[in-house]
Homo-oligomer: A and B are copies of this chain.
Amino acid sequence: MTITEVSKKYDISQDTLRYYERIGLIPAVNRTKGGMRDYTEESCGWIELAKCMRSAGIPIEALIEYCALAQQGDRTITARKELLVEERTKLLEKMEDMKKTLDKLNYKIDIYEKAEVSGVLSWEKPNA
């Protein structure tokens, strides 16, 4: 697959795809004789993984380390697992923060909806 095809398939810019490869967030991609990238199934798997992890805010740094470990074979299984467990912990914390914010947003939206009827919010705190 060409970079254009992969870019469209995963909705990631070509610049970002090259960037991810350059920094080692995904392993080096196969090339044609001419030097053009030729993405394999496996490359695509890495890109899909990168996209998923990044969409949840997993830091680039952690993904680079994971990729480096993965390329060192089965002896890094424990290290990789620990890395993932650590990121999962952070992710769960972030999700809790978001849940709290969501509750607050729901509460405030509810108050605003009631205020739209009366036209005033004065019985509430100014920043409610």
Which residue numbers of A lie inside 8 Å of B, CB to CB? 42, 45-46, 49, 52-53, 55-58, 67, 70, 74, 77-78, 80-81, 84-85, 87-88, 91-92, 94-95, 97-102, 104-106, 108-109, 112-113, 115-116, 119-122, 125-127
Evaluate contact between A56 and B102: CB separation under 8 angstroms: yes
A interface, over-half SS = helix
Copies of this chain? 2
Q: What are the residues of chain B within 8 A of A109 when measuring CB–CB?
A: 81, 84-85, 88
* 11 chain-A/chain-B pairs, Cβ below 8 angstroms: A42-B126, A45-B126, A49-B127, A56-B102, A70-B126, A74-B121, A74-B122, A78-B112, A81-B112, A84-B112, A85-B109
How long is the Cα–Cα vector from A99 to B94 in the complex, in angstroms? 11
Evaluate contact between B56 and A97: CB separation under 8 angstroms: yes
